[in-house]
Amino acid sequence: MGALNLEERPLKFHFIPYPAPGHMTPLCDIATLFASCGHQVTIITTPSNAQILLKSIPSHNHLRLHTVPFPSHQVGLPLGVENLASVNNVDNSCKIHHATMLLRSPINNFVEQDSPDCIVADFMFLWVDELANRLHIPRLAFNGFSLFAICAMESLKARDFESSVIQGLPHFIKLNAMPPKALTKFMEPLLETELKSYGLIVNNFTELDGEEYIEHYEKTMGHRAWHLGPSSLICRTTQEKADRGQTSAVDVHECLSWLNSKQPNSVLYICFGSLCHFTNKQLYEIASAIEASGHQFIWVVPEKKGKEDESNDENEKWMPKGFEDRNIGMIIRGWAPQVVILGHPAIGAFLTHCGWNSTVEAVSAGVPMITWPVHDEQFYNEKLITQVRGIGVEVGVEEWSFIGFMKKKKIVGRDIIEKAVRRLMDGGAEAVEIRKRAHEYAIKAKRAVQEGGSSHKNLMALIDDLKRQRGHKSFDS
């Protein structure tokens, strides 16, 4: 009888997000999902990141934030710089990463004094494995990737050869470039430790990754995965969507007002995430391509583009002369309310770096993609979008960076960019088919998070499973 009562009690979770938008935003959205089911959720973070979260995640009675000091002085960072989105070069991004590893002691102390039923931690925190084992509680891992990308990484690692064809997956996949050796080496211990966890939480829905990849993952890795997304659909109102992530550089109502004056599918949305920084020469080529295509656009350009030997006047020299005067477009310098923009019917395509957050947000909105991967697992995501699901077209970039701040050896020319933009925005037969498939996946995404949908069922199954684990633990003791 006691065990039954134990299983009925709400679960107690500690979430430990990694301080980068692609990691923190979806994991904290998922944390609110557990809180909305009546479970006690604590997000452990640092002061500046807590301020972002207070603005960007819906408030719940069952959700609280616990902050631990960020060791800025120990790593040589200014006070308050605690997130990868706050820096714009390799050195400072390394300092942020080093500082997050120094959080081990204060987080350990807090968790040991306030032991939960389950720890949900980003896979970047390798030491959480040892902490969960010591406390005899399950650890759920999160990495911000699609399951398809993880399967692709594992297939490449298992064979250890230079061919761009990935063997052993349910689909024939040929990459446009091979991952940098430094990236593969960095990822190896993270993925190995992830597989020691109780299971993996995925910010995706079953229908997009595909049953075939879930089966492949569970069979080849001997590990479980729960698809609980898309996390961006957890936010309901326009304001909640606009507040998600960092503070927007543009007023959301001004942005919507501009989009309301445009025809359906007439605007190209361009954004390469918060961690991809292009040189002025590359930005100039993108601008020239957009102008040549003749399409209206919203273009999000990172606020800081690094120190270059160009002038710092208001119209930076990455823009062709008179570009803003000649073109009907909106340039946003800094963070944009992306989920709101993608959800507007005027958006016809998304030129994207294929970061997983951006990808699943576009899918949820039914917006087809023009793929331009830059770093991390983005080249795998490109193949899921274009080759496997047929909801986008490739620019055809072949340079894979370790991180987004690294300077590229090649400039992607305006003609190649323009051609890719026209394939989706000019409205030919190919574009109509891709748009139709993208729309179908948007319907599936929305169904997945509703009661009875695949992600909702996974959430309920995971909660039941964790309650049973807690019950068994009581018998063991």
Q: Which residues are catalytic?
A: 23, 122
DSSP string, 210-242: -HHHHHHHHHHH---EEE---GGGG--SHHHHH
Q: Which of 222, 231, 232 is nearest to 199 (CA)?
A: 222
Dihedral (Cα; 466, 472, 474, 475), 10-degree rounding: 170
Residue 402 CA to residue 472 CA, distance in Å, equals: 43
**Burial status of residue 31 (CB atoms within 10 A of its CB: 0-12, 13-18, 19 or more):** buried
Torsion of CA 414, 420, 423, 424, to 10 degrees: -110
| List of E strands, 151-262 | 165-166, 173-174, 199-202, 225-227
Around Cβ 101, how many Cβ atoms within 10 Å? Answer: 13
Of 191, 184, 187, 155, which is closest to residue 172 (Cα–Cα)? 155
Q: Which positions ≥6 away from 418 have C-beta within 8 Å?
A: 289, 290, 292, 293
Q: How far is CA 263 from CA 238, 258, 266, 391, in A?
A: 20, 11, 6, 21
Token pair recorded at residue 24: 């923190």
Q: How far is CA 241 from CA 28, 230, 236, 338, in A?
A: 14, 13, 7, 8
- Taking residue 248's Cβ as centre, other Cβ atoms within 10 Å add up to 18
For 149, counting Cβ atoms within 10 Å of its Cβ (0-12 exposed, 13-18 middle, 19+ buried), the class is buried
Residue 315 corresponds to which tokens in the numbers above?
A: 């119209």
ω into residue 230 within 30 of 0, thus cis?
yes
The tokens describing 451, both together, are 């009661």
Backbone Cα Rg of the chain? 22
Helix (H) / strand (E) element for 40: namely strand 40-45
